Chains A and B, each alone.
Chain A
Amino acid sequence: MSWSGPTLDRVLNTAAAWTLALLWILPLAYAIWTAFHPAAYEARFVLTAPLTMDNFAKAWSAAPFARYFLNTFVLVSLILAGQFFLCTLAAYAFARFEFPGRSLLFSLVLLQLLVMPDILIVENYKTMRLLDLVDTIPAIALPYLASGFGIFLLRQTFMTIPKELDEAARIEGASFLGVLWRVYIPLAKPTYLAYGLVSVSHHWNNFLWPLIVTNSVDTRPVTVGLSIFSAIDSGVEWSVINAATLMTSGPLLIAFLLFQRQFVQSFMRAGIK
C-alpha cells in the first residue's frame, strides 16, 4: 500500500475525523448560536436571524460573574498549588525512602483514590464549621488538597527516575530536599502538567460542595453562579444560560485558540508516559 497521495484509507480517516469533530463542537456551536440570537431562535436555525447582545446583558446582570470568575481562578490556583506541594513531598517519601509503616501509609493513600470527598459532605461540613472556615475559599479547597491520585501518580514517576542521578546530586552535597528540587521535580514536569490539567478541569467543574460550604458572592465559584439559570418553575432559558456559559468559559476558549500551538506543543514536548 502506498502512503503518499490521497488513498481511500486517508480519505475515510479524514472524513471520520471531521464528522467526529463536528459532533464534538455541536454543543459549543449551539451555545454560540443561542447566545447571539433572540430567544425565539433557540430552536430555529435560519441564517437571517437577527443578532443581539441582550442575552449577555441579561446574564451579566443576573449574577456578578466577574467576581465568580475571580473566585474560581483563586480556588483552582490554591488547590493546584496545595496539591503540588503536599503530593510532591509525600510521593518523594514513598518513592525513595524505606521507613516503618510505609506500605500501610501507602495503602491509606490509595484508599483516597476511592473515597471521594464528594461523598463525605456532611462530615466535612462539620469539620469546616469547627475550624470556623465556612464560607471561605480555603474551605472549598481543603478536602481536595491531599490527593491520593496525585501522590500515586508522582510516586510512579519518581520511581522511574534513575537512582544514579539522585546519588550524583547527593555526592555534590545536595540535601534530601535539594535532590527533590533539583533532580526529581524537573524530571517529573510532564506528570505535573498532566495532573494539573486533571485537577484544574475537575475543580473548574465542581458544583455541589462549593454550593453547600459557601454563602456569599465573595467566595462562590462560577458553577454556582451558572446554576441560577437552571430554574425549574420558569423553564430553561437557553439563550441566557448559554450566554453565561460563554462568558465564563470564553476566556479559557479564547486563550486556547490563541495559544493552541504553544499549549499542545509544550504538552507534547513534555511527553507523558
Chain B
Amino acid sequence: MIKSTFLKAVAATALSVSTWASAHAVDLQFYFPVAVGGKAADTIQALTDEYVAANPDVKIDAVYAGSYQDTVAKAITASRGGNPPQLSVILSVDMFTLIDEDLIQPFDNYLTTDEDKAWVDGFYPAFMENSQTGGKTYGIPFQRSTPVLYWNKEAFKEAGLDPEVAPATWDEMVEFGKKLTKKDADGKVSQWGVRIPSSGFPYWLFQGLAIENSATLANAEGNKTNFDDPKVVEALQYLVDLSTKHEVMAPGIIEWGATPKAFFEGQTAMMWTSTGNLTNVRDNAPFDFGVAMLPSKETRGAPTGGGNFYLFKGASDEQNKAAVEFVQWITAPAQSAKWTIATGYVAPRAETWETETMKAYTADFAPALIARDQLAFAKAELSTYQNQRVTGIFNDALASVITGKKDAATALKEAQAQADGILSEYR
C-alpha cells in the first residue's frame, strides 16, 4: 500500500499548490447529471454563468457528467484518483454509499447561523428524508421528482369514463383499465389500460405500490430492508396481476424510455412515470391529458426521486464556504423557479411556489401542482448502505416475478436474505 500513500501525498501537494495559486479567486468544480434531455444542461450552465457574473471572486466550472449513473461513477473515480469535485448533483439514494466511501461531508459545518438552519427547514420534509441521516444534512434537494399518473382524457371519454376523473384506488385503476383496454377479435391489444415501466430500475415505481400498501422497504438508517414483508408481497402480486389476471397492462418488462411515446401513440391510456416528463408530455401529447396522484390502497403514496447537491471532502475551507453559498443561491426561489419551469422537476421549497413566475406557470399549467401536493404523502426512495447492490438484488427479484420466473413470495424472500447478508455489517 506504499503506492497509495505516495499517490495521496502527491495529490495533497497538488491540491495545496492549486489552492495557493488561486488564492485570489475561489475555484469550484461541480458535476451535474442530465436526465431530462438537452434543455437541462443549458439551464444549469446559464444559471452558473449568471452566478459567476455576479460574484467575480468565484469561478465555477460546471461539468456535465452524463446520466445519474455516469455522474456518480465519475465523482467516485475522480475522488479515488485524488481529484474530487467540490460539489456534485448525485441521486439522493447514493447518500449512504457516499458516506460509506468517506467522500462527502455534512453541510452542517457551514450552516451555522439560525438563518441557515431555518433555510434547511424550508425544504419539503419528504425530500429531506433521503438527505439527512444521524442528525446531519448531507444532501440539499435540487433536481427532485416523484412519479405521478398521467391519463389520456380522450381515451377515457371514448371508453365511457369521466375524462376529468382519474382512478383514485387500486381497484378503480383495474376497473378503469378493463374499460380502457381495447382488444380485437384475435385478442390483439391496440390500447392497454395502464403502463408501469419496469426496465432497469423497477423498484422505483414498485415502491409507489408498496408505500400505498403501508409498507416501508428500508429503515431510515439504511441498514435494514423489509423486502419479504407480506404487504410488499401483496403489492408485487397486484403489479403482476395487472398483466396476468386483469390483463390491463402489457406483460413482461416494460421499457422506460419508450413509455411517453407509447402514451402519445395511444398504446396506453394511463402511464405512471416521473414528473420529469411533464414538459415533454405537455409539448408532445396530441390529446388532452390529465395528471393525478398515484392511486391509493391503504393510503396515497409515492417515493421521491432525483438528485441532491453533495459537498465533497478534500476541498479548502474557502471552497466549501463558496460551494454552500452557491447551493443556497441556486435553490433560492428565483433560480429554482427557472429550473422547475425548464425541466419539470419539483421545486423543493414551498417559497418557490409563491413566486410570481411560478404562480403564472401553474395557473397556465395546473398539473405541475399535483406533484407538489403529492409530497404530503411521499416517502423516501429506497436507499441503504451499498445502495446500488441492494437495490440491484431487489430489481432482479422484481424482474424475475414480473417475467413469471418466480412467484412473489419466494423471490422477495430470497432478495431479503441476500440484502441481510450485505447489510448486517452496518448494524
Contacts and interface: CB of A to CB of B under 8 A. Distances in A.
Direct contact of A and B (CB under 8 A): yes
Interface of A: 39-40, 42-43, 58-59, 61-63, 121-122, 125-126, 128-130, 132, 134, 211-212, 215-216, 224, 227-238, 240
Contacts of A212: 73-74, 77
B81 A235 contact: no
Interface string B267-301: 00000011011011000101000000000000000
Contacts of A215: 29, 61, 63
11 contacts: A62-B38, A125-B81, A224-B66, A229-B37, A231-B35, A232-B257, A234-B37, A235-B260, A236-B257, A237-B37, A240-B38
Contact of A227 (B66, B261, B265): B66
Given A125-B77, A212-B74, A215-B29, A132 B67 contact: no
A211 B70 contact: yes
A58 to B, nearest CB: 7
A230 B258 CA distance: 11
Contacts of B83: 129, 134
A168 to B, nearest CB: 51
A129 B200 CA distance: 33
B52 to A, nearest CB: 15
B14 interface: yes
A212 B75 CA distance: 9
B385 to A, nearest CB: 21
B28 to A, nearest CB: 13
Contacts of A134: 78, 81, 83
A250 to B, nearest CB: 19
A212 B73 CA distance: 8
Contacts, number: 109
Given A39-B284, A235-B258, 5 more contacts: A40-B284, A125-B80, A227-B66, A232-B35, A234-B280
| 8 shortest interchain CB distances as A-B pairs | A62-B38, A233-B276, A235-B260, A236-B257, A233-B35, A129-B81, A234-B36, A125-B81
Contacts of A129: 7, 11, 81-83
A122 B37 contact: no
A230 B77 contact: no
A231 B67 contact: yes
Contacts of B41: 62-63, 228
A132 B14 contact: yes
B14 A228 contact: no
B373 interface: no
A210 to B, nearest CB: 10
B64 interface: yes
A42 B261 contact: yes
B277 A235 contact: yes
B275 to A, nearest CB: 9
A234 B38 CA distance: 10
B260 A234 contact: yes
B10 interface: yes
Given A125-B81, A130-B10, A232 B256 contact: yes
A234 B39 CA distance: 11
B145 interface: yes
Interface in B58-112: 61, 63-67, 70, 73-74, 77-78, 80-83
B345 to A, nearest CB: 9
Nearest to B80: A122
A126 B7 contact: yes
Contacts of B34: 228, 231
A19 to B, nearest CB: 27
B81 A126 contact: yes
A158 to B, nearest CB: 37
B259 A235 contact: yes
B78 to A, nearest CB: 7
Nearest to A40: B286
B257 A235 contact: yes
A121 B166 CA distance: 49
B42 interface: yes
Contacts of B39: 62
Contacts of B273: 235
B280 A235 contact: yes
A128 B10 CA distance: 13
Nearest to A63: B38
Contacts of A130: 7, 10
Nearest to A127: B81
B377 interface: no
Nearest to A38: B284
A240 B38 CA distance: 10
A126 B8 CA distance: 10
A230 B67 contact: yes
Contact of A228 (B64, B258, B261): B64
A266 to B, nearest CB: 38
B264 interface: yes
B284 A125 contact: no
A154 B36 CA distance: 46
Nearest to A214: B63
A42 B262 CA distance: 11
A236 B280 CA distance: 10
Contacts of A40: 264, 284, 286
B20 to A, nearest CB: 16
A211 B66 contact: yes
